[in-house]
Structure 1
Amino acid sequence: MSGMRTMSEISTSEFRTLNPVKVEPEPVKQGRSLVVVIGINTYAHWRTLNNAVQDALGLQQALIDKLGFTAPIAPLIDAAATQEAIEALIEEQLHELLKEDDSLVLFFAGHGHTRIAQDSEVGYIIPVDARMPDEDREHWSDYIRLNHWLEEVAELPARHILVILDACHSGVALGSAANIYRSAERFRADISRDRSRKVITSAKQDQLALDGGPVPGHSLFTGTLINGFNWGESDIDGNGFITSSELGLYLQQKVGQASGSTQTPEFGAFHRDEQGEMVISLRNQSFDTLKARALSALQTGQFTLFKELTEQAIALKLTSAETLYLEYRLRFREGNFQRVTEIIDILVRADLQESLIPLSNNDLSKIQLRLPCWAPVLSIPEGEFLAEVTVMTGSTKEQLLVIAPQPFGESQAYLIEPKSFCQLSLNNPTSAPLHIYMVGFDETGRFQLETLWEDEEIIFNGLMPGETKRSFLFAPQGKPGLREIRLFSSPKRLRFFLFPASSDAYGAQIDTISAEDLQQIEMKVIRYSLTNSLLSEKV
């Protein structure tokens, strides 16, 4: 019951979805964008946390450096974050400071706790000076009751308030006083006119929150949050604006699906909300917002915009790791593998800090080892593909539905529900066997040879004339973003493709493919994204 942010049993939830939209209107004029943070590692009586202070300061700095926020009040860190100080922050300082057109992000990282009664649960955040529970009693008056605290926050004069809680059991904040959202509000030209009172919690009310994660020095939740701003990943629909509920959806999907995650963020509205939205723009001219918009454009299929923004980034910071990553993605799309190889070599030698770019140092080393033999194959342009391909997906393995590609930016893509199963159905309408192979590309720019067939007879003899077979069943994982499957078809069996790479086989495949064999290969691109899918007929 201590509420320490640590591992617990895995809890699952139905993920919420957002359809991509094309419109890019200008936001309604807003007042100041302000951030106020509270973070507690070292408690007077409760167990020490590792990353809460870094989470608070890291988020504050990300909003200031990347998105134009200001911090008008010094952070309440460790010993400064007493019960009296936290209450005075809301009831006195912010009441005096805020104006009616302002937008406020209010962040708390620290311990959370729950009071369980016979027919209700009440959530609390724990100030630094709170006493630990005794064997026979709790010191409830030492804690800050979340529903009362949110009521006070709701009365602040700002037009938009977004409360972000990174604490165990923080989902209790979305109790009877709050409306839990099941989808994110898309951007509208007038969306920021009406008052908003939104809250995002790092875990459901019955879950603990991890104090660490893949981003060094940050919890899983806050590290994901900062990355969402850093590379624009939280701009799910790619229109250059992030709404508060869009941010909540991004966190719910990304944190809930993270490796080792035992928590599912929640998001919703609380007292005095009028269905407005805080709108955070990625459209200023700083390098950080430029790179975020570029990656967002790529992930939403806006290839022309992605190229324009990447070329602007190259002009601003030619040798930065972030620019080189964007250029890697651009030159890969263009088929300029000489430059792709140069970029990967530079990034490998740089020994980058983790999370600086979406690819890890390990990813970069694997790509470096694979490129020499794979570049000729990956240079094959898309052309006439003899096999007929159908894409199927569904929530269970036994009930797959045929789906059609949907408009996605400048292209077409299959929209796949998170946690669903996928399968390809391939038909050979020709009079000769076809040997078909598959290479997968994820949203970060990694690629690898994938297992297409489960049937060994097809692997070695090919898909026979007139034959229709289903591929290996697979379940896409990760975050929303554009991905590719490239299918390669050849009239003959090619040893080069026969052995799918595994995590311990990168670089081991040093075979090359002859110019004659390359001339006979046809390639087809299938694009898809983890988002809402439109299901049609059942098969």
Structure 2
Amino acid sequence: MKPIVFITVVALILMSIVNISIGGMLRPQNQLDMPNVVYRKGWALVIGINKYPNLPGNQLDWAVADAEAVANLLIQKFGFEKENVTLLKDAQATKANIMEKLNNFSDTNMVDREDCVLVYFSGHGQTVPLPRGAGEMGFLIPYDAKIGDLSKPPNIVDYRKYCIAMNELNDAAKTIPAKHIIFIVDACYSGLVLGSHRGGINTALPDYLSRVAKTEVQQMITAGGKGEKSEERPDLGHGVFTYKLLKGLEDELADENGDHVITGTELYSYLANAVLQMTNGKQNPRFGVADEGNFLFIPQKVEPAKGKLAIQVTPADAVITITPAGSSNERPFNVLSGEIEVPIGNYNITAEKDGYETVSKENVKVNKAVSTQVKLTLKQKAPVSAIIDGQFLPKDAQVFINGVRVSMPYSTTPGTYKIRIERNGYNPVEIDTTLSAGQRFSPNPQWTAVTKPPALGKLQVNVTPRDAMLSVTSIDSGSTYDIGTTGEIDLPPGSYVLTAKREEYNGEAKNITITPNQRTLITLTLRPKNPEKALATIEIPNLPADAKVSVDGLPVTQPYLVSPGSHIIRIDRTGFKPYEKRENLSPGQSFIVQPVWIPIGAGRGLPPMSAMAVSMVIPGLGQHLQGHRNRGFIYEGLILGTGIFAIITTSHHHSTLNEYTDVRDELYLEMQKEMKMTAKIKNLFNEQDKLYDKAVSAKNLALISQIAFGTLWAFNAIDAGFLIKPNQDNSGFSVNIQPTTDGAIFVAKASF
């Protein structure tokens, strides 16, 4: 088995083990993970209609008050910006105006996907039966509706012409890009258009709020169902539904789990009980939802009241420290003039400056909306030091006093000092001065620019034979420069004569030109005076520093030049077997040696702890390295088999757990709708018990398979380290190290 395949299988097994440990039969938890910012912006359309000019017998008293209270609550409590909340009252709430404002939310230049939209309506509504038994259609009745008396049988033609059908709201919502949309309707007989309430994302999940915050949703809460009148009460100054809506949001009574976030589902759950109780069962709010997210009402933090504090300090550059009275946490403010805002309360104020006596005022009281004036005057101390400042120095100058770099201005004791000032591109300036107490010294050096040397060019010469003597002579100045064994030299620009010499070889000269900031490459080959006696060259690229080379038993150094003929080349290196090779070299030949390094002691296997560590990472590999290949294959097969079995049993456990969770959620929802035991609830109880037993059995089998998998893995590591000994005939590995042809790196190959 290849290690990468085995590691992939092992990773899947470990992921399954982690999942079972956190996704098993755990009870719901209230650990919530809210993102820092849920909505980019909040938008609201709030409608309240008391007066219906075409319905003289059907006027309302508190719908406008309802709408005004909801709009103010959204702005003050939940952070909706005032300009993003549209309030339509009475004559403003015509059908055309309502639909225009609603359709404005479809403008992607205004509303973003990361926004939320809330639509609130308080007024009349009606449910109209459709012809041929096709069901019913709910309508919201705008200010300018002409539909006759609400107590008479409704005419579907008039309602479709003058009113807003509930499905029109749904169609408009489909074009709004915001991820969370909620309609809250306090109207008589309005009915629902969305699907009935369903489970959505499991609230027991630790990251429930993070999930619903990212998931789209459209929700609708209405004040009651078909045939139910939405009550208004003078003693409340509101409709019952909106009164409880305001209480649930403003006092956070709808926050069922106490996480300081009210979801649309929590709001409906609160309203369903509160409105039902206050109306003695006459009014039953309804809830509809599309998609699995949840509208989030997030109360905004209230900033503490602030007052103004004006501090006038002399001298103006003194450092002001303002500390809340009774607090040890200091927050310094550098005040030059004007005022600062601070939370109301008592403060201790201190002014400090080098060379001045510290001044303080304690328990300065700052009141709301009032500017508190504080004046502080610092008295100068008698001078005890001298100051060196940099008012005449450029910003890039560096100042050293007695050899130590300092920052300007610099305060020191009286005495004699050596001042050195450095600046890039200029010669340093040194000043000796004697300072007295209270003196302020401002160095003003005269700068002289540094003369830059001419740019150089680089000459590189490759010569054969390699030990030839190289020199270069300037044609312009006549200066001669010797070139070392590296073959490289930096030269001023100009024309030169390059000369190469060696005993028993004909010398050679060549005219060259050196260009600034460029490399000039020259290749020279000297011809032997007697070709039969030309030396051969032995080259060993990338030779390790600890290697020693000998030819015919005599140590040699680079370049390895030998006479033509048969030679024994030997390279010794600590920790490796000697490399030895016999080679017949011809005159002028350049022979490249690529030694193969065999570690001393290769083939002895691994130490026990090393073999154990290897098999702990990759099962069976330690056995392979110890020379027990068949044993390694057995462990690989067993661990792979138990691992696959663990994946299968763990997957089966998760499947049974999901079945159990689905039935449990369905039972919970059914019990929320019914207040008594029904046949369906009884069947769901029985099915839940069976699925629970099935999930427990699957979990036990998964745990057994995982324990078997882990035990085999651990035993395989112990076996590799301590239960087997290296097979001397078939253990370990040899390392073959040889330089690459380009001489850049070493390549290591391992063979088992």
What's the TM-score bracket when you normalise by the shorter of the two chains?
0.3 to 0.5
Q: Scaled by the length of structure 2, what TM-score is found? A: 0.34
* Structure showing greater relative contact order (alpha-carbon pairs closer than 8 Å, 6 or more residues apart): 1
Between Structure 1 and Structure 2, whose CA radius of gyration is higher?
2
